[in-house]
């Protein structure tokens, strides 16, 4: 459904995309995961014909988005991150405007709007002005306007950011059902859980490139090993943690032991399998050390990200949090 | 959102193609409708837009009411003289503001919503603004002309009315084009407002809106005789002045006399010129 090849895009000195390639099969719910500033939004804006790449090719539903953008616009619905809404119009008027821009016949248009009002639960406030809407309401209006012309591809940029849990799970549910009925859905997110819970396939984007691609399970399995988090006491000190680390490193089946300073000197282990757990306990019992907590888990997407970039998604978020240039960002979004 | 998508992808009522022209009309009407809905729900712009020229007319018209007779060419009263100036100035400022809504759409990202839609032509966005500003200007002008008539400053008559409308259309097209061009060229609304602010009053004073050329020093006379506003004011003033004769010299400019037809031709050229200048810019920004 979507083929992006070797996309490059710079904003002045900043290179946002460095040869990004992506392929999304038809009928797939595809997640783009990456920290803020990784290039997700730029990728989606290029895909939606809002932005021309410096180089590379964009194909949507077999159509070349660069030479025939209008044909591509007919096929896709785009739900942007910053919800631009006309505060003076009511939700219904906004949808009517949207329907006219997609050239729906007015009877079809109104029937379709009623349908969406019904299934997105908007009837009680649809005739109020958009300026009075909450974040969740705006997002629903935006979803509705993206779905109005029944596109075969729905593109969503961070669809649930800043939403309450109830709205979020409702949107998840909607996306799943859309996908089940044959719509291809591409969404970007910097929430691990969101991509993990929703996506059939996913790509991890970092620094303008795809660094991992596959189904969430594949990506996790490729890492190999299980994860164990262990604490001997609720609060250990550095020397005790170090002592334990040395003890456990020798245990058969333990691949790696890291002291996690950020979490009260707990120990993060990579082990070959579940069978290693009793051996860990034995080892500690042997030197009279207690076990306060021991948690065992399959590798998570965060581990995938960690493996590929050498930092956790959280660290990557924090690193860019302070250096986002609000002015540049606004300029990027402006035509 | 309790029962989500049941119908979201229900078989589409198959959309028959209604042809590119019908599509074009549909999108232009929808965009224009939006602008008028905004105006009706925030009528302060409309009210201010009609009140301001009326205040000009009443206060400024009274300013020289005791000036000696025969001071103005053709023995016009100052109120009658001023009417044409106020009409043109109002249409001009309205048109100069035409870019503001577009600029806000750019800044708030609403324009992106329009640009991801499969518009037949993105010029529809420009057309909608032109239609909106033109109707608004003609409405304002009618209000001024009505008031001027009540104040005893005269009424142009049927032929005059046609001439006034035609002249205003040219003027409004020209400055709407300029303003839309600026709305895409400048970085934000602050800059746009600054440009409007700087251009507005000087263009008024350096024209024949408030005083005839013969009152001005040479340098200002030159400026006024080159100012597009002047070429709109003179035909309208002629329509107020009595029997309409566009062949007659209406503007006694330092570079020679300009007839009514001359004024309208120059105005037409300015309009076409401005549209040609902004076209590459619009093509680039709306590509």
CB crowding B10-22: b at 16 or more within 10 Å, else e:
eeeeeeeeeeeee
pLDDT at B65 over 90: no
Total domain count, chain A:
2
Q: Mean per-residue pLDDT for A95-122?
A: 92
Better-scored residue on pLDDT, A334 or A141: A141
Alpha carbon distances (Å) from B113 to A9, A66, A81, A120, B260? 22, 18, 12, 20, 45
Strands A29-33 and A201-206: parallel
Query: Is A213 a domain residue?
Result: yes
Q: Does residue A24 sit in helix, strand or coil?
A: strand
CB–CB of A312/A25 below 8 Å?
no
Do A276 and A163 share a structural domain?
no
* Phi, psi angle pair for A183, to nearest 5°: -75, 135
Alpha carbon distances (Å) from A248 to A159, A278, A290? 43, 12, 14
Q: List pLDDT tens digits, range B139-190.
A: 888 888 998 889 888 888 888 899 999 999 999 999 999 999 999 999 999 9
Burial of residue B55, with CB atoms counted within 10 A of its CB: 0-12 exposed, 13-18 middle, 19 or more buried = exposed
Q: Which residues of chain A neighbour B115 with C-beta distances below 8 Å?
A: 49-50, 335
Categorize the per-residue pLDDT at B2 as very low, low, confident or very high, splitting at 50, 70 and 90.
very low
Q: Do A103 and B26 touch (CB under 8 A)?
A: yes
Q: Do A174 and B1 touch (CB under 8 A)?
A: yes
Q: Which residues of chain A neighbour B191 with C-beta distances below 8 Å?
A: none
CB–CB of B1/A120 below 8 Å?
yes
Q: What percent of chain B has pLDDT over 90?
A: 54
Q: What percent of chain B has pLDDT over 70?
A: 94
What integer pLDDT is reported at residue A247 of this predicted model? 82
Do A150 and A58 share a structural domain?
yes
CB–CB of A206/A212 below 8 Å?
no
Q: How far is A106 from B37, CA to CA, in rounded Å? A: 18
Burial of residue A143, with CB atoms counted within 10 A of its CB: 0-12 exposed, 13-18 middle, 19 or more buried = buried
User: Quick count: other Cβ atoms within 10 Å of Cβ B100?
Assistant: 18
What integer pLDDT is reported at residue B63 of this predicted model? 82
Residue of A nearest to B4 (CA): A119
Do A169 and A54 share a structural domain?
yes
Query: Is A124 a domain residue?
Result: no
Q: Does residue A224 sit in helix, strand or coil?
A: coil
What phi-psi label fits residue A80: left (phi over 0), alpha (psi between -120 and 50 degrees) or beta? beta
Q: How far is B146 from B49, CA to CA, in rounded Å? A: 15
Q: What is the ipTM of this complex?
A: 0.84
Distance from A188 to chain B by nearest Cα, in Å? 18
Q: What percent of chain A has pLDDT over 70?
A: 91
Q: Mean per-residue pLDDT for B125-135?
A: 93
Q: How far is B236 from B218, CA to CA, in rounded Å? A: 24
pLDDT at A211 over 90: no
- Determine the structural domain holding residue A292 and report its residue range: 225-298
Do A268 and A254 share a structural domain?
yes
What residues have CB less than 8 Å from A137, skipping those under 6 apart? A91, A122, A125
Query: Is A309 a domain residue?
Result: no
What integer pLDDT is reported at residue A234 of this predicted model? 76
Better-scored residue on pLDDT, A250 or A89: A89
Q: Which of A74, A86, A182 lies closest to B118 in CB terms?
A: A74
Alpha carbon A316 to its chain's center: 14
Q: Which of A78, A150, A334 lies closest to B9 in CB terms?
A: A150
What integer pLDDT is reported at residue B14 of this predicted model? 46
Do A289 and A154 share a structural domain?
no
Do A26 and A164 share a structural domain?
yes
Q: Is A231 on the interface with B (CB under 8 A)?
A: no
| Residues B150, B151, B157, B160, CA torsion sign | negative
What integer pLDDT is reported at residue B153 of this predicted model? 84
What integer pLDDT is reported at residue A237 of this predicted model? 80
What integer pLDDT is reported at residue B9 of this predicted model? 43
Do A242 and A195 share a structural domain?
no
Do A153 and A65 share a structural domain?
yes
What integer pLDDT is reported at residue B7 of this predicted model? 44
Residue labelled with tokens 């540049």: A328
Q: Do B106 and A335 touch (CB under 8 A)?
A: yes
Do A34 and A175 share a structural domain?
yes
Q: How far is B276 from B253, CA to CA, in rounded Å? A: 27
Q: Is A167 on the interface with B (CB under 8 A)?
A: yes
Do A137 and A63 share a structural domain?
yes
Q: Does residue B212 sit in helix, strand or coil?
A: coil
Q: Is A153 on the interface with B (CB under 8 A)?
A: no
**Largest separation between any pair of C-alpha atoms in chain B:** 81
Which site among B5, B12, B31 would you substitute to test the A interface, given the most A Cβ atoms closer than 10 Å to its Cβ?
B5
> What does the domain layout of chain B look like in residue ranges?
42-64+73-285
pLDDT at B98 over 50: yes
Q: Is A103 on the interface with B (CB under 8 A)?
A: yes
Q: Mean per-residue pLDDT for B267-280?
A: 94
Distance from B88 to chain A by nearest Cα, in Å? 30
Query: Is A79 a domain residue?
Result: yes
Q: What is the DSSP string of A152-189?
A: SEEEEESTTTT--HHHHHHHHHHHHHHHHTT-EEEEEE
CATH code, domain carrying A272: 3.30.70.100
Residue of B nearest to A73 (CA): B118
CB hemisphere CA count around A330 (13 angstroms): 10
């Amino acid at each position: 459904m979507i083929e992006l090849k070797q996309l490059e895009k710079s904003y002045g000195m900043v290179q946002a995309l460095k040869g990004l390639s992506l392929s999304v099969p038809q009928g797939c719910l595809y997640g783009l995961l990456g920290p803020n500033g990784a290039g997700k939004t730029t990728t989606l804006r290029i895909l939606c014909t809002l932005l021309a790449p410096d180089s590379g090719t964009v194909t949507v539903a077999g159509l070349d988005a660069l030479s025939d953008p209008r044909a591509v616009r007919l096929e896709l619905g785009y739900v942007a991150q910053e919800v631009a809404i006309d505060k003076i119009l009511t939700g219904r008027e906004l949808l009517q405007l949207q329907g006219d821009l997609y050239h729906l016949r007015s009877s079809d248009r109104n029937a379709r709007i009623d349908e969406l009002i019904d299934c997105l639960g908007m009837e009680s406030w649809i005739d109020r002005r958009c300026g009075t809407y909450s974040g969740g309401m705006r997002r629903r209006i935006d979803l509705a306007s993206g779905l109005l012309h029944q596109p075969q591809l729905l593109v969503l940029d961070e669809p649930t950011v800043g939403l309450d849990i109830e709205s979020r799970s409702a949107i998840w549910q909607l996306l799943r059902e859309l996908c089940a009925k044959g719509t291809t859905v591409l969404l970007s997110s910097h929430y691990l859980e969101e991509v993990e819970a929703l996506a059939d396939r996913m790509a991890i984007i970092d620094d303008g490139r795809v660094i991992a691609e596959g189904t969430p399970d594949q990506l996790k399995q490729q890492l190999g090993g299980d994860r164990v988090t262990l604490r001997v006491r609720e609060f250990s000190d550095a020397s005790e943690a170090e002592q334990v680390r040395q003890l456990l490193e020798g245990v058969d089946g333990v691949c790696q032991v890291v002291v996690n300073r950020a979490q009260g000197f707990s120990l993060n282990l990579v082990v070959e399998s579940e069978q290693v757990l009793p051996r860990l306990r034995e080892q500690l019992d042997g030197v009279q050390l207690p076990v306060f907590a021991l948690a065992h888990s399959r590798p998570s997407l965060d581990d995938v990200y960690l493996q590929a970039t050498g930092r956790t998604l959280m660290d990557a978020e924090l690193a860019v949090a302070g250096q986002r240039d609000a002015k540049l960002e606004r300029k990027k979004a402006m035509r | 959102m309790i029962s989500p998508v049941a119908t979201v992808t229900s078989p589409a009522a198959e959309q028959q193609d209604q042809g590119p022209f019908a599509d074009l009309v549909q999108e232009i009407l929808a965009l224009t409708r939006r602008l008028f809905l905004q105006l009706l729900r925030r009528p302060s712009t409309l009210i201010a837009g009609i009140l301001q020229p009326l205040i000009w007319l009443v206060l400024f018209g009274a300013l020289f009411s005791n000036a000696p007779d025969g001071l103005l060419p053709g023995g016009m009263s100052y109120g009658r003289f001023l009417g044409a100036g106020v009409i043109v100035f109002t249409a001009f400022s309205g048109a100069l503001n035409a870019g503001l809504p577009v600029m806000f759409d750019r800044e708030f990202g609403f324009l992106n919503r329009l640009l991801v839609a499969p518009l037949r032509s993105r010029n529809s966005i420009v057309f909608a603004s032109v239609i909106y500003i033109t109707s608004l200007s003609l409405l304002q002008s009618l209000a001024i002309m009505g008031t001027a008539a009540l104040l005893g400053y005269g009424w142009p008559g049927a032929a005059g009315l046609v001439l006034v409308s035609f002249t205003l259309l040219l003027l409004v097209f020209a400055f709407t084009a300029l303003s839309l061009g600026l709305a895409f060229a400048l970085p934000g609304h602050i800059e746009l407002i600054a440009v409007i602010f700087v251009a507005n009053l000087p263009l008024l004073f350096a024209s024949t809106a408030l005083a005839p050329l013969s009152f001005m020093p040479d340098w200002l006379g030159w400026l006024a005789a080159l100012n597009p506003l002047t070429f709109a004011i003179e035909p309208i003033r002629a329509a107020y002045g009595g029997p309409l004769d566009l062949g007659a010299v209406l503007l006694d400019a330092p570079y020679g006399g300009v007839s009514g037809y001359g004024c309208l031709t120059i105005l037409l050229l300015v309009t076409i010129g401005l549209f040609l200048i902004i076209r590459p810019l619009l093509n680039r920004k709306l590509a």
